[in-house]
């Protein structure tokens, strides 16, 4: 069988990482969560009190920053300058600021270079917002996953509950809708379905159903 690249894009909390992780595990592929990379640099910028509107400064900092994604039995671990920040990058503060940081074109250029390097040998499942349109543009399989904002907020609410984090459903709907708007309306590689991506509306599908669908599509292309 052929080693392929799988690109999974879509709005916030659509279940991309759950599905991408699962597919990577079943195929024995590498999983790359590109959102974690944008979150990591956002975390560093907040910690260092950098103006999040200053794209040039942020890009200079990124150029001197190491961001590593390491698989572990507990899931993907994220290292920023060799320090583990897996949980820190999921904080409310980072979530609220990441779209502002991710809007800078030069910063995105550097991120894409790093992602291309990670994906160059195939056998990869990468998720994000611009993977099918700007990163793995020749991927054998491109998926664009979405669900209604209410359903996505409900899923994130339940996920947070499981992790012992209490959140407010209305607030989650607002936060997700705002992030979608910023990601879709930015000038630099906005969130948009690649022409050759397959659209999957997961609103009324279970994780197993989506996962099966994607595995079938992957196998057809191997
Ligand atoms: O996927 P996740 O929700 O962790 O992504 C966090 C943010 O990072 C997104 O809302 C978006 O602003 C940015 N992002 C991006 N391009 C990617 C992945 C994430 O702009 N490929």
Mutate to test the pocket of ligand 1, among 98, 106, 134 (most ligand atoms within 8 A of CB): 98
The distance from CA 108 to its chain's CA centroid, rounded to whole angstroms, is 13
190 assigned binding-site residue: no
The rounded distance, in Å, linking the Cα atoms of 62 and 65 is: 5
What the block records as the tokens of 75 is 């899931």
Q: In this structure, which CATH number among 3.40.50.1820, 3.80.10.10, 3.40.50.720, 3.40.50.300 belongs to the domain 8-220?
A: 3.40.50.300
ipTM: 0.99
pLDDT > 90? residue 169: yes
pTM of the model: 0.97
| Domain extent listing, the chain | 8-220
Ligand 1 centroid to Cα of residue 221, in Å, is: 27
CA of 208 to the centre of ligand 1 (A): 24
CB atoms within 10 A of CB 114: 16
* Cβ within 8 Å of residue 132, ≥6 positions away: 7, 9, 139, 142, 143, 144, 193, 194, 196, 197
Binding site membership of 38 for ligand 1 (Cβ less than 6 Å): yes
Query: How many angstroms is it from 15 CA to the middle of ligand 1?
Result: 13
CA–CA gap between residue 80 and residue 213 (Å, rounded): 34
Q: Which atom of ligand 1 is nearest to the CA of 102?
A: 20
What pLDDT is stored for residue 206 in this prediction? Answer: 94
Q: Is 190 in the pocket of ligand 1 (CB under 6 A)?
A: no
Q: Is the pLDDT of residue 175 over 90?
A: yes
Residue 130 — very low, low, confident or very high, per pLDDT cuts 50/70/90? very high
């Amino acid at each position: 069988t052929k080693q392929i690249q799988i690109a999974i894009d879509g709005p916030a909390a659509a279940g991309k990482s759950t599905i991408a992780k699962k597919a990577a595990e079943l195929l024995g592929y590498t999983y790359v969560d590109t959102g974690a990379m944008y979150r990591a640099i956002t975390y560093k910028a907040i910690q260092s009190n950098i103006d999040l509107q200053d794209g040039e400064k942020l890009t200079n900092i990124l150029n001197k920053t190491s961001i590593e994604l390491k698989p572990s039995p507990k899931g993907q671990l994220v290292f920023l300058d060799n320090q583990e920040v897996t949980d820190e990058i999921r904080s409310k503060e980072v979530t609220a600021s990441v779209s502002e940081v991710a809007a800078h074109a030069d910063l995105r250029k550097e991120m894409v270079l790093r992602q291309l390097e990670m994906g160059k040998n195939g056998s990869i499942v990468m998720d994000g917002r611009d993977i099918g349109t700007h990163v793995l543009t020749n991927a054998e399989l491109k998926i664009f996953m979405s669900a209604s904002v209410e359903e996505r907020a409900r899923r994130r609410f339940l996920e947070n509950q499981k992790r012992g984090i209490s959140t407010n459903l209305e607030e989650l709907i607002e936060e997700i809708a705002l992030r979608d708007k910023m990601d879709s309306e930015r000038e630099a590689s906005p969130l948009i379905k690649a022409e050759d991506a397959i659209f999957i509306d997961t609103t009324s599908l279970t994780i197993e159903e989506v996962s099966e669908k994607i595995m079938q599509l992957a196998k057809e292309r191997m």
